[in-house]
Amino acid sequence: MEVGHENVVQVITDNAANCKAAGQLIEAQFPSIFWTPCVVHTLNLALKNICATKNVEANQVTYDECSWITDVSGDANIIKNFIMNHSMRLAIFNEFNTLKLFAVAETRFASVIVMLKRLKLLKQGLQAMVISDKWTCYREDDMGKSRFVKEKVLDDVWWDSIDYILAFTSPIYDMLRDCDMDTPCLHLVYDLWDTMIEKVRATIYRKEGKRKEEESKFFDVVHEILVAPWNKSNTPLHCLAHSLNPRYYSEQWLSEDSSRVPPHKDAEIYTERMKCFKRYFTNSSDRTRANVEFAQFS
């Protein structure tokens, strides 16, 4: 009320039910203001659903395709805790590594990915540590876990799994980082999300050795996890902002992918843009003038 509701474009919160309810109250009182779920929070929830699959009947297909990721991240947690929870093992670790094996809070965005990225950087040091004489001398207090840690750290297949997880989640993580900043990115989100999904598809299909027209059960599950929150968080404002970015009319952007069309020729963007115009311009003559100006712009 202090700055004037007509000067407010959107209110952004995370996706909790109470925040959504508050956003809907604002929209009801001030129709020109959009409530927008936080893109970073949405991406983080998607990453959690991919990397921490729960075995529930409703998600049996998801569990079948993604449980191996949960297993790999669980193994990584065991290794991290085994080293960090004992001062002598931590001292040996520090002798072979210049980087720290930090604990990542679950509340941090993309916590699993951050942990696996750090482990990958520590790979050579960890392998040198578990085959050293010092590690052999100080492992007697927990032989079972020590043997498990050594086997995993020296297992090339396990490291290959980490590489694959980091490869196909990299576009998601990159988009999360791009949006998690103070600079405006509303005008980029619509395209960033489409591009991110295509990059994830390309990585998975390359790993599975499949052509684009073939089906991948794993990608179908990942795609569903990514699209579901986007359908909930995508607002007409994203489409309007996309329409008003000159970049998406340029030959350079259009030529990067044969399936791309300029925003004024995209049916979905047109529909969502008109929803915005109806909320912004309640007077029909104002709305007509806005349509004419947009046509001249495009």
Indicate whether 215 and 179 sit together in one domain: yes
Shared domain check, 118 and 204: yes
pLDDT of 3 reads 92
Residues 54 and 186 in one domain: yes
10-residue stretch averages of pLDDT, the chain, 298 residues long: 90 89 93 90 88 65 85 90 83 86 65 89 91 75 80 94 95 91 88 93 93 90 89 86 94 90 93 92 92 94
The candidate with the shortest Cα–Cα distance to 120, out of 83, 73, 84, 81, is: 73
User: Within this chain, do residues 146 and 18 fall inside the same structural domain, yes or no?
Assistant: no
Is 29 in the same domain as 159?
A: no
pLDDT of residue 209: 92
Q: Identify whether the C-beta of residue 233 lies closer than 8 Å to the C-beta of residue 37.
A: yes
Residues 114 and 3 in one domain: no
> Which amino acid is located at 70 in the chain?
T
Same domain, 227 and 273: no
Q: Are residues 139 and 272 in the same domain?
A: no
pLDDT at 107: 55
Say yes or no: 49 and 181 in one domain: yes
pLDDT of residue 165: 95
Total domains, the chain = 3
Q: Let me know whether 153 and 280 are in one domain.
A: no
Indicate the residue among 191, 214, 234 that finishes a domain.
234
Q: Is 97 helix (H, G, I), strand (E, B) or coil?
A: coil
pLDDT score, position 109: 66
Judged by DSSP in three states, 10 sits in strand
- Whether residue 145 sits in one domain with residue 126: yes
Q: What pLDDT, on the 0 to 100 scale, is given for residue 105?
A: 62
For residue 104, the 8-state DSSP code is P
Tokens of 182: 């103070």
Q: Are residues 188 and 70 in the same domain?
A: yes
The residue range of the domain holding 44 is 39-234
